[in-house]
Amino acid sequence: MNNRIDIKFKHLKERGKKAFIAYLTVGFPDIETNLKLVLEMEKRGVDLVELGIPFSDPIADGPTIQASSQASLARGTTPADALRLAAVIRKHSSIPMVLMGYLNPFLHPNPGSLAKNLARAGVDGVIIPDLPPESSDSIRKPLREKGIHTIFLLAPTSRPDRIKLVARKSGGFIYYVSHTGVTGARKKLSGELTARIREIKKNTDLPVAVGFGISTSNQLRRVWNIADGAIVGSALIKPFLEEATPDRGLAKCLAVLDSLLKENKT
């Protein structure tokens, strides 16, 4: 079963390229704008998208993504809306899609039904930050049977045994959190980033993508020099918080995206 994430990273590696992974919050500013944004992202060179399910009590989201989630929840967005959005995107696009959300919404009605629904919607992977890899098999195995990857996170505090466990359990790629704390733009990335990525790569052949705090061309370039992909979220969501209308937010978001891709995806 060919997974779009695997195919994308394989093609990028063959061309000596690295992945640009974009995060958006489902339902913010609205579902229609989400669809427009993903289709425009693909045209402009985004390699993979994360569709974030808004959640009322996040453990890793910084203020920008929290604000987008609260606005989305206030509009009545549900996990079912995320699946519907994914299904519509898949009708128009072959871009790899990862659904990112917290464990509680993924438990209903059951993992088997979840796997079927995700596969039907064309989802390629899931990221569940509060799902411990050591007790993930009840969810991970039904997803794997449908060709869907479960992507786990590592952090600067991850010990060698944790790195080995995540390397065994992950599919698609490993998500490395560039700093402790929550998401959000940072002026500087950790000075230990290179050493940590090298340590992870000693334990796996999976691609490693770096997220949390990446918002500038210089940061992207540094990540791409050492890892297989960079994940950008807050920098693309912030324009929608700053502008008065979804259309103006979309235009500003795409301008930010173009400025990042223009300098680095050559």
- Structure-token pair, residue 188: 């500087």
- Pick from 132, 205, 195: nearest CA to 162: 132
Residue numbers annotated as active site? 50, 61
Q: What is the DSSP letter of 212?
A: S
Q: 187 burial class (0-12, 13-18, 19+ CB within 10 angstroms)?
A: exposed
In the block, which residue shows the tokens 């000075």?
191
Which amino acid is it at 243? E
Beta strands per DSSP E along the chain: 19-25, 48-52, 97-100, 125-127, 149-151, 153-154, 174-177, 208-211, 229-232
Q: For residues 144 and 123, what is the distance between their CA atoms, to the nearest angstrom?
A: 12
- Structure-token pair, residue 125: 């992977």
